[in-house]
Amino acid sequence: MTPRILLVNPPIYDFAAYDFWLKPYGLLEAAGRLRGLAEVSLFDFLGRSGAGSTRKDPWGRGRFPAEVVSKPDSFKSVPRRYRRYGIRRARFRDFLQAGKALDFALVQTSMTYWYPGVREVIEDLRLLWPRTRIVLGGPYATLCSDHARSLGADLVVEGSDLNPLWQELGLDPGSGPAYWEGYDRLTVGALKLTDGCPFKCSYCATPMIYPAFAQRPVDMVLEELDLLARCGAADVAFYDDALLYRAEEVLLPFLERARSRNVSVRFHTPNALHARFMTRQVADAMVRTGFETFYLGYESASAEWLQRTGAKVSHDDLAQAVDRLRSAGAAANRITAYVMLGHPDEGPDAVEEAMRRVQGLGIRIMLSEFSPIPGTPDGERCRRWVDLDEPLWHNNTAFPILLLGNDEVNRLKQLRNRLNGDLDGSR
């Protein structure tokens, strides 16, 4: 008997959320391996088409529909409004009541502190489809597996090994691109050329999710790009954690072959690119293949801090990467450097210095707010300030405010806005 499976991407509970090319990629990948083996349907709370908000920027990003909700007790002292982002809960309940209960529900998890949305989905499934088997997978399920089990799912899949999932479903999976055809209307998609990262930055959880760096077959990624184009995606974000690493083996061959296919999509790099690997050849190939936005990892202007946390970039690396992208034809206002805010070893003065250095290169600044992730060296050190066993305290809005104070966080964000505004005004 063919199993019937519902895929669910839950709503977000947080102080802030924005559709920054956000798709449940792991969930869609798993479903793509079930083509022809199962009946699959998708309910994406964060799919903005028809969700009450169709406004978007030129590259497909936009605001989620949102409603203010009560803050958890943990956040009573955080002077921010807490919201639920995504399609209203009643619509999911209507969806469940309108159809026959399916055999399995696969629920994507993402940020650890977004678990209230996962809990909401499980509550509704248990109420309306009590016999449906519920499976959780993704970062929260991996990094906080015991906590995830407490929500009441039947199976929690940890890490990137999906064998427990296939055993639960009683299926021998095939291969194929992610299940992008599950969307009625697709405008934004995602791709990955690699899994994992060769670096072990002391604040990053990637090694706990993907213990080893691995390259994907270029043919497989090109097949997925073709599917995305057929489904209507005009903007495609790369979800790689190390897109430029060994570029001559994967990225450059992919770009050359993608150009020959004449696929009309715009590419984006929301995950930080390693500036050290931005050669002139890579920069030229990316610009020629239709990359529109470039996000570079920088984090700090302190050489000592960079060395201590992973030694993956220096200011000279960043400056050289910017020069190479500009020489290849990338517009300066489409190049952005991430600067970390709220790391326990970086005070406000260091954050300000890093922002001013980025502005000096003529590119935009994005503050990357620190999340104390359990299991990482830097996260574990934060147990002196917060209860890491409560995933809400991994929140990247709440922790910097706790560490630096609300006024200081606001000052730095206002400075970021002013520095970016100065750059905009100079063009």
Region 231-249 average pLDDT: 96
Percent of the chain with pLDDT over 70: 97
> Contact 254/289 with Cβ under 8 angstroms?
no
Minimum mean pLDDT range among 11-25, 105-119, 413-427: 413-427
pLDDT tens, residue by residue, 338-366: 999 999 999 999 999 999 999 999 999 99
pLDDT tens, residue by residue, 387-410: 999 999 999 999 999 999 999 999
Pick the CATH number of 187-425 from 3.20.20.70, 3.30.470.20, 3.30.950.10, 3.40.50.12240: 3.20.20.70
What is the rounded CA–CA span in Å between residue 280 and residue 289? 14
DSSP code of 337?
A: E
Closest among 190, 235, 240 to 213, alpha carbons compared = 240
Provide φ and ψ at 27, rounded to 5°. Answer: -65, -45
Using alpha carbons only, what angle is made at residue 170 by residues 169 and 172, rounded to the nearest 5 degrees?
A: 105
What is the rounded CA–CA span in Å between residue 219 and residue 235? 20
Pairing of strands 155-157, 291-299: unpaired
Residue at token pair 């391996």? 33
pLDDT higher at 254 or 55? 254
Closest among 195, 154, 167, 242 to 29, alpha carbons compared = 195
Q: What is the pLDDT of residue 427?
A: 47
Q: What is the pLDDT of residue 263?
A: 82
pLDDT tens, residue by residue, 139-151: 999 999 999 999 9
Q: What is the pLDDT of residue 426?
A: 52
Q: What is the pLDDT of residue 37?
A: 97
Please provide the distance, in angstroms rounded to a whole number, between the alpha carbons at the two ends of the chain: 63
Check pLDDT > 60 for residue 419. Answer: yes
* Domain extent listing, the chain: 4-169, 187-425
Residues in the chain, overall count: 427
Percent of the chain with pLDDT over 90: 90
Q: What is the pLDDT of residue 190?
A: 98
Pick the CATH number of 4-169 from 3.40.50, 1.10.287, 3.40.720, 3.30.1360: 3.40.50
CA atoms within 13 A on the CB side of 368: 21
> Contact 54/185 with Cβ under 8 angstroms?
no
- Which H or E run contains 176? none
Check pLDDT > 90 for residue 49. Answer: no
- Per DSSP, the residues of 84-103 read EESS-HHHHHHHHHHSPPPS
> Contact 364/418 with Cβ under 8 angstroms?
no
Q: What is the pLDDT of residue 102?
A: 97
Q: What is the pLDDT of residue 170?
A: 97
Contacts for 87-93: CB closer than 8 Å, 24+ residues apart: 87/11, 87/45, 87/46, 87/47, 87/51, 87/52, 89/11, 89/120, 89/124, 92/43, 92/45, 92/121, 92/124, 93/124, 93/128
Closest among 126, 136, 51, 120 to 87, alpha carbons compared = 51
pLDDT tens, residue by residue, 162-205: 999 999 999 999 999 999 999 999 999 999 999 999 999 999 99
Name the band, by pLDDT with cuts 50, 70 and 90, for residue 93. very high
pLDDT tens, residue by residue, 285-323: 999 999 999 999 999 988 888 888 887 788 999 999 999
